[in-house]
Structure 1
Amino acid sequence: ELEWLRALFDRFDADKDGQLVMLELADLLRQCFPSRSGDTRKLMKEIKQADVNKDGLVSFHEFVRYYEMLLSHGAEIDELAKMFFFFDADQSGEIDKKEFLLLLNNIFPDRCEENEEHLEREFKAADVDESKGISLSEFRSYYHVLTALYDRLNQE
């Protein structure tokens, strides 16, 4: 779990200085814990809670303590974000075609040939802005299509 938290922390540490500034932490909370980051006031309270030494930055150690506190209070990281970050192997912030095929093959392991046949169509459907990569927000929007497809194929 610690390795995964490190990868998550590093992904949002835009300047790679080993600390999250408030905007980076806010972005992490919005994407990974959407239920805990509703309004701005609530989000600021969460950020202040994470910054134990009150220096305006959140170190990895502070982030781990904060994450453990969230878990102890019943919070769970958004499963879609967790899935997205798992399949974004190159940590680019987008799922490319190769990563998308890996995702499809993991979800539909008995249909690997079909996955390759439908890759272009499904990737295009998910990549709404045509950036050649699926962002987390695009993945969230596309996920209902993926689950419906999964349900339909499992009924066959």
Structure 2
Amino acid sequence: MSNLTRTQEKELKEAFDIFDRDHSGSISARELKAVFKNLEISASDQDIKNAMKQMDINNDGEISFSEFSRVMEAQFYRKYTHEEIRAAFDHFDKDKSGYISADELRMTLSKMGKTFRKDEVDKMIKSIDKDGDGRISINEFMDLLN
């Protein structure tokens, strides 16, 4: 039984759908590698193989949503180190301004295979942006993850 809220389950399904690029209902090693590449995350074939082995419980060579959920659910309750948060933030902050702009967020999401309208991205920024300056600072990003 899952301890996730409906919102968390929905977010997890949205993340799964980003990885499941062919909409087959499962994630293949090829799809996992493509997502990592699009996110500019260096992952060797062995890294992909290890990730697949960790998540593919029934050893069918694909990651189902239930397998993905089992592994990712723990991430909702995990506390991230400052270094992990900084690395994730820096991945979004392409111009190294110290802030994530709406354009940077939209560009990164697009690389992940998700296209959002400007108003949708603006809504995401607004939900995280505590000081109302229209962008996400490292502190606002940290609040989101912890």
TM-score, reference length from structure 1? 0.47
Greater RCO (Cα-Cα under 8 Å, separation 6 or more): 2
Greater fraction of residues in helix: 1
Structure exhibiting the larger radius of gyration computed from Cα positions: 1
